[in-house]
A and B are shown apart, each in its own frame.
Chain A
Amino acid sequence: MNKESVIDCLKNIVSGLKSENFHTEVIYRGEKSHLIRAGRNQISLNVGEEGSKFFLNLQKGKRFISGSLTAKDNDHEKVISYAKDLATKIDLMPEVPHLKEPKPLAQGLIVEEADENLKNFDTEVAVKFYEDAFKRFEKDSIELSGAFSAGFYNIAMASTNSPSPSYYEGTDFNTELVLQLLKDDKKELRVSQVGAHITDYRPSKMLDHLQKTMDIKKQTPRKDLPPGEYDVIFHADAFSDMISYMTWVALRGDSWLYQTGMLQKGEHDPGSQVFGENFHLTDNHEDEDVLFHRPFGLNGALKPNFTAFDKGVLKGFYHTNKDTCDKFDIEINNCSQISSYKLHPGNGPASFEEMIKSTTKPTLYIPYIHYMNFTNPAKGEFTGTSRFGTFLIENGKVSHHIYNLRINDSFHSIFNNIDWLSSKLEQVNFSNTYGLRLAGSVACPRYARVNGVKISGSSGTSKS
């Protein structure tokens, strides 16, 4: 799983297939992942995996085919043999008239940003985190759960028209801890962290924040709110979830070209004002504020410094897929599967205390959104419920905590009604932590205030 072995293997594969009458693109992905999960105040699972896979895209004239296999990173002969087997099927494929000659991939880019401490992660670090948390909160009658993932992954690629492989290796961790307060109506609290290096891991910061929110939960009465429109302060966990969903339904070139997303041709073309002027979203792997610095995508394309929205104005789309690009006569310009989003900060309060103190008129605080999904993607309408500590803030104080609320709104409305954004950024985890590990995070202002958010109900059950 080391760089030299992977690069040699890719060179041998493309060299071994160069004389064949088809074009071959090879993408290697390797990982070593660990995941520890806690539940019911103990470790519920401690799992790991090590493996490597090769993904092959073959093209012969106007025909193409793809496949994948598990193979060790020094077993180029197995991959070559598999590619030749796959190629025997290519003549059975129907011709795709719009298919163009494959362009070369990004070549010779080598980025190594793995942290040896995470690469050789000792799972006892994670076990200790949950044990320490339990000792600290045990007296409060809690049920503790969470997950801690850490690992190493590498991605490399080459093709018969770009024989010099590009290679990336990195590490990441992400951890979350949830407390259920058994004697306080089973209220739930959550804290999380994501990082690229073990030095980003600060367990005491997480536990201190939990303590703070637990005190509020215990000291304030519960209240049920009727449906209606409310001013809301979202924590970065909730706001970045909305950003992530919005990018999926708005920024993929496929969804724009086929018109399956929320942006409509003629109304939301590049250059048009889609969101409010305080909405500035970028994907720049060279930005110091982002955690992961990958210069190429899983499709082999170079990752440019990409601005998605500049003061709310749509700047462009991710054109990732070769078939779609060939069909619509567009160049591949990026890869949406690997991103490093940053929503640029504003001038709003940056600490929890400041945020509470500065809020005078009744405002909801929503730290997290559970199970978000689209109700009407064409209009960017979505739903989801608040979770892990929804508060009502009045006169600079938390006055009540609220049952989980169902939000029923649209991204157009939310991102056009941002009152303010925090001046500080928070990293929020969006990683695939296992089974083709791929780290991801969104750098998002710690808090975002949005006016007039539509709430359609709350979470009472009706047992009989």
Chain B
Amino acid sequence: MIDNEIRNLLDDLKAKGAEYADVRYHTLDLHEQIHLQDGLMKNYNFQDKKGYGVRVLYKGAWGFFSNEDPKLLKETAAIAMKKAQSAALFMQDSVKLAPKEVYKENFRSNIGEDPFEVNLKDKIELLSNINKRLKHERFTFRGASASFNKRTILFFDTDGSEIEKHTLEVDPYMYAYAKDRDGLTQSRSYLMYQNATPDSTVGLENIRNEEQFSSHPERIKEELLQVLDAPIQEEEVCSLIPGHEMMALQTHETIGHALELDRILGYELSYAGGSHVDLEDFNSLKFGSEKLNAHASGTTLNSPGSVGFDDDGVKGVDVLMIEKGKLKNCITSRQMIMEANQKAGKEIFKESGGACRAQSYNNLPIERMNNINIDSGNDGTLEDIISKTENGLMLETPKSWSIGSNRENFHFACEIGWKIRDGKISHVVRNPTYKGDSLKFWHSLDLVGDSSTWQLQQVFNCGKGQPNQIMHLAHGVPICRFNSIEVGNK
């Protein structure tokens, strides 16, 4: 029934002069979070949301309004139209949308063991077991949590798209805290990676899987104990081997955000900032070394960044952004590629990369990362890369991150570091940090691990935009080595 109401509404908006309109309706939006700390329930939360947003393009300007009351669909559309009308009062260039294929399709996450179908007691026991195994007399506290998100979203637009998406996400986490030998608090934590192979699924089975999650408490415990008594990391310039979690952060902050087309055009200037990349850099700028190949993919399997279709109704595609170090493409939407091509006076972008997404029904979609992946290379395994490193540092797990307003530089702090000397790990270091200039850093990439080192890291906390929107996505990254990096908190 709601389908017909939405179709009628879109017809009505078109009759009133809308150049384009769409409705995104979250008919199911569940979030469950379980958090145990020191063996006790710290928090259990179950959220049940429903709502919809109406987006209208009128006289070349966007208007958007959302509501949660299904009876107010028409009124909500009228407010969206009014907002477009007022926005149209101050426009220099009308918004134009690139052509797209029209789909009437469903998308479903490849669901294994649906956590919403599993007895709550079983889920609590699963985390309780992790929690127990993290226990140690030196630790001040430790915990394990898991969040599950399940959504059904209808997307209808005036182009004729009718898309239904059913998605599931699983996000478990474990941590432990303790005082180090100087009496200051240190932590070790672990976020689960997702398998992206065709035979793998999204569901509770990933948390049960030893390799992905359930065998890690002992490692985390052991590493935290090593950090507590480790020497402070010295300031120096050396080779850097980011672990998967750090490599994902590095990719996220200095490739992903730097290559959002709305940001490159200047739409994020007043808040998140701009980009050191300009339109004239495409097909000319050497972004990194020859070993760097980076994608914005909407097709990576089992990822929170792959949702079948973006919120423009564009089907997920794989876009090669950086090829052998050269900048070729970026993270794009229907609107921004038209603006960019017009501004550049030439066709830089041929079609939308399907990366226009909104956090929820109450947000307007903007350019968002989907899966910003780095191709694996031919430089062997992690062990091979360590063995080739004379003086280096391997780092893992982001503790904090700060990035320049044009993504031109960065400063990251990590939970743990391993000093490498003469091809071997010599000892653990405490409070490791490193910093650099983005382009110089990617140019220093000299070793890229093989496919055995490639891992899909999930990200559930990417913030962008005003109003701020938190997006879920992932980064498929191999183990890499970078040369001559400044480490230490100078």
Contacts and interface: CB of A to CB of B under 8 A. Distances in A.
Contact of B62 (A45, A134, A260): A45
A46 B402 contact: no
A44 interface: yes
A70 B269 contact: no
Given A50-B67, A373-B402, A44 B62 contact: yes
Contacts of A38: 90, 270
A379 B489 CA distance: 12
B66 A51 contact: yes
Given A94-B124, A178-B269, A457-B409, A323 B66 contact: no
A258 B141 contact: yes
Contacts of A240: none
A64 B404 contact: no
Chain B at the A interface: mostly helix, strand, loop or mixed? mixed
Contacts of B86: 46, 122-124, 127
Contacts of A46: 61-64, 83-84, 86-87
B78 to A, nearest CB: 12
Interface stretch (B304-312, B380-388, B431-439, B447-455): B431-439
A337 to B, nearest CB: 15
Interface residues of A, number: 93
B271 interface: yes
A147 interface: yes
Instruction: Give the interface centre of B44, B47, B64, B440 by most chain A CB atoms within 10 Å.
Output: B44
Nearest to A265: B183
B83 A461 contact: no
Contacts of B93: 40, 42
Given A43-B61, A373-B402, A375-B413, A463 B276 contact: yes
B185 A370 contact: no
Contacts of B403: 371
B346 interface: no
A384 to B, nearest CB: 6
Contacts of A406: 402, 404, 409, 411, 435
A46 to B, nearest CB: 4
Interface stretch (B48-56, B98-106, B314-322): B48-56
Interface in A9-38: 33, 35-38
A176 B270 contact: yes
Interface of B: 36, 40-51, 53, 61-69, 79, 83-84, 86-93, 119-121, 124, 128, 140-141, 177, 179, 183-187, 262, 265-271, 273-274, 276, 281, 285-286, 339, 359-360, 362-364, 399-406, 408-409, 411, 413, 431, 433, 435, 437-440, 443, 466-468, 489-490
Interface in A284-311: none
A48 B467 contact: no
Interface string A371-390: 11111111101011101000
Instruction: Give the interface centre of A47, A385, A459 by most chain B CB atoms within 10 Å.
Output: A47
Interface of A: 33, 35-53, 63-70, 72, 82, 86, 89, 92-94, 96-98, 122-124, 127-128, 130-131, 134, 143, 145-147, 149, 176-178, 180, 186, 188, 190, 227, 258-260, 264, 323, 370-379, 381, 383-385, 387, 404, 406, 408, 433-435, 456-457, 459-464
A154 B50 CA distance: 20
B64 A94 contact: no
A92 B49 contact: no
Contacts of A186: 274
A63 to B, nearest CB: 8
Given A35-B467, A67-B47, A463-B285, A370 B273 contact: yes
Q: Which 4 A/B pairs are nearest by Cβ-Cβ distance?
A: A434-B467, A39-B267, A378-B184, A178-B270
Given A49-B53, A96-B40, A260-B187, 20 more contacts: A38-B90, A39-B262, A42-B90, A42-B92, A43-B90, A47-B64, A48-B83, A66-B44, A68-B47, A72-B68, A86-B46, A93-B44, A93-B124, A147-B466, A178-B269, A227-B490, A323-B43, A371-B404, A406-B404, A460-B408
A121 to B, nearest CB: 11
Nearest to A37: B466
A323 B42 contact: yes
A435 B44 contact: no
Contact of B269 (A92, A145, A376, A385): A145
Contacts of A457: 409, 435
Contacts of B266: 39-40, 143, 145, 180
Contacts of A64: 41, 44
B265 A40 contact: yes
Given A46-B64, A385-B402, A69 B47 contact: yes
Contact of B128 (A49, A94, A376, A381): A94
Given A47-B64, A376-B489, A461 B435 contact: no
Contacts of B69: 72
Contacts of A68: 45-48
Instruction: Give the interface centre of B120, B404, B435 by most chain A CB atoms within 10 Å.
Output: B404
Contacts of A433: 466-467
B462 to A, nearest CB: 14
A48 B62 contact: no
B402 A384 contact: yes
Given A42-B93, A461-B437, A145 B44 contact: no
